[in-house]
A and B are shown apart, each in its own frame.
Chain A
């Protein structure tokens, strides 16, 4: 039976949705249960208290300006890191000697802890741009390495055919290298979105720049406001999710063009 009716598709989607909701509910209940068992508002708060803290934060003007500041900085770092990573990978692909020079640096950058970047940047640039630059530096090697690998996967036979037909450079990028590298870039961007928030917030915590989400997190830690820590974590996870959806949407638009 290969034919599936529309109704069956709907039914499948509904059961899928229900399963997803059930699994989320399961984890929320488990979380609430553990928090009741622990019974210590400093060590662990439950989903109800987290929601309460979130409700308290959302109308707060200071909190919203923190979110705005962090969002713009991290997005700026993310986009700068992605664009420069892709461009440099393309240049390295055309100029193999550059790749030879860059590859040990990229491997090293990939493993340098966020804390090291942040501490050095604090000394070099002060607290204002730390989170943005750290985000860029973390994202950059991910995009570079993946884009480069994608370009290397281009079908050799197709390249030979393109050579035979003396295809223009623009056409080659559009029809040959672009499609080959795109899946790699896409998955790299997806990883980069998550990493950008992880590293950006970590850098903000270290930099202690006031009026950032990372610093709000630091203050909540210092004042033992665990419910605020959890609420801010939820906010960061949501922002990270939003960033990923937006970037993937953007990628799809670019690929269609």
Chain B
């Protein structure tokens, strides 16, 4: 069952990767806005079609998937660190597959899940992790602190920040004026995204009160009904499910996109230690990891039913139903392709990642250079497949 699902999503991904590749090389621009892969689950039938189509077109699809398998004897260890939150959700399927069968991945994976981004950062610097899923600005900070010692592989999480409140007059960022807003993620994406939006929308009298963990804010929301909070998914769903008075009022991603600027709100990216990346020799390549990760993300997006229990098993969310409800809003960075002949999905990698991420980091840098570690990373920060 599990295997057939993996194979299915593989086929879909393969067909799309091919198409996406063509679209890219033809220089056509993607008109689909990044940021809303949310309704994927409802597009399940389209996914089935893609499967059929991919099956019919198996000739081309097969050739592109064949390379995704590595002789098990060639596999090398890879230590992957993730954060307990939205960034890890795209990874839970891979984690589960590996837990059930250690040969399921292209690498001999060892996963570490932490709650504190700096714990992951410290392990990356100390060489105890090879690959890490970190907040976008922290990736740049790591690059600067290690003098270029990390390389970014993909965008794994788009905007996941949402405003939760019991007050139904709160509908936009401008409604936060004069209010005290509780938020997590000081020094990470939530703080910078929120401050940037407040600044751009001209809100000057909003007080931000930071808390270390979303659970802390959720606890406060259980006893008080006057709280306005900015929480990342899935915690926004968890908190609003706990107390009926609360509901999700608006998504910061929508407010960001409404500015009409050429940048997207990016939450999480995947980085690899340069030393590790350079140690990989034929036939091993980091591209195998990217494929594993992409399949895992597509799986989480297209199959909430099957992924929800895995999210609970990883202790990211305590309740399966809430996990299922939150999944479509978790910003999994897979783009649904609608303007191509075959419906399909594409990850944010290579040139496309570079364009979006560098634009986002530039925005952060303009607002506060220390948020990205003082300077913007150079071109060698971005991993472009087949460009080594």
Using CB atoms and an 8 Å cutoff, list the residues of chain A in contact with chain B: 40-43, 122-123, 126-127, 206, 208-210, 215, 218-219, 221-225
Are A222's CB and B145's CB within 8 A? no
Instruction: Give the interface segment out of B212-220, B267-275, B351-359.
Output: B212-220
Are B209's CB and A223's CB within 8 A? no
Which chain B residues numbered 335 to 388 have a C-beta less than 8 Å away from chain A?
A: 370-371, 373
Known pairs A222-B188, A223-B370; A42 contacts B145 (CB<8 A): yes
Minimum CB–CB distance for B4 against chain A, Å:
43
Chain B residues whose C-beta falls within 8 Å of the C-beta of A126 in the assembled complex: 209
Q: How far is the CA of A69 from the CA of B138 in the complex (A)?
A: 28
Residue of B146, B187, B208, B211 touching A223 (CB-CB under 8 A): B187
Are B125's CB and A208's CB within 8 A? no
Are B210's CB and A208's CB within 8 A? yes
Are A127's CB and B125's CB within 8 A? no
Are B186's CB and A219's CB within 8 A? yes
Q: How far is the CA of A215 from the CA of B122 in the complex (A)?
A: 19
Chain A residues whose C-beta falls within 8 Å of the C-beta of B118 in the assembled complex: 221-222, 224
Q: How far is the CA of A28 from the CA of B373 in the complex (A)?
A: 28
Are B209's CB and A127's CB within 8 A? yes
Are B212's CB and A208's CB within 8 A? yes
**B176 close to chain A: CB less than 8 A:** no
Are B370's CB and A222's CB within 8 A? no
The contact size tier of chain B is: 20 to 34
Q: How far is the CA of A80 from the CA of B41 in the complex (A)?
A: 59
Residue of B141, B186, B188, B373 touching A208 (CB-CB under 8 A): B186
Chain A residues whose C-beta falls within 8 Å of the C-beta of B327 in the assembled complex: none
Q: How far is the CA of A79 from the CA of B208 in the complex (A)?
A: 30
Are B209's CB and A43's CB within 8 A? no
Chain A residues whose C-beta falls within 8 Å of the C-beta of B122 in the assembled complex: 42
Chain B residues whose C-beta falls within 8 Å of the C-beta of A221 in the assembled complex: 118
Residue of A218, A219, A224 touching B121 (CB-CB under 8 A): A224
Q: How far is the CA of A126 from the CA of B217 in the complex (A)?
A: 11
Chain B residues whose C-beta falls within 8 Å of the C-beta of A208 in the assembled complex: 186, 210-212
Listed by A's residue number, 27 A-B pairs whose Cβ atoms lie within 8 Å are: A40-B125, A41-B145, A42-B122, A42-B125, A42-B145, A42-B146, A123-B219, A123-B220, A126-B209, A127-B209, A127-B210, A206-B212, A208-B211, A215-B186, A215-B210, A218-B186, A218-B187, A219-B187, A222-B117, A222-B138, A222-B186, A223-B141, A223-B371, A223-B373, A224-B118, A224-B121, A224-B141
Chain A residues whose C-beta falls within 8 Å of the C-beta of B117 in the assembled complex: 222
**B67 close to chain A: CB less than 8 A:** no
Q: A42-B146, A223-B187 are in contact. List 18 more A-B contacts (CB 8 A).
A: A42-B145, A123-B216, A123-B220, A126-B209, A127-B210, A206-B212, A208-B186, A208-B211, A215-B186, A219-B186, A221-B118, A222-B187, A223-B370, A223-B371, A223-B373, A224-B141, A224-B142, A225-B370
Give the residue among A208, A215, A218 with the most B Cβ atoms within 10 A: A208
Which chain B residues numbered 108 to 132 have a C-beta less than 8 Å away from chain A?
A: 117-118, 121-122, 125-126
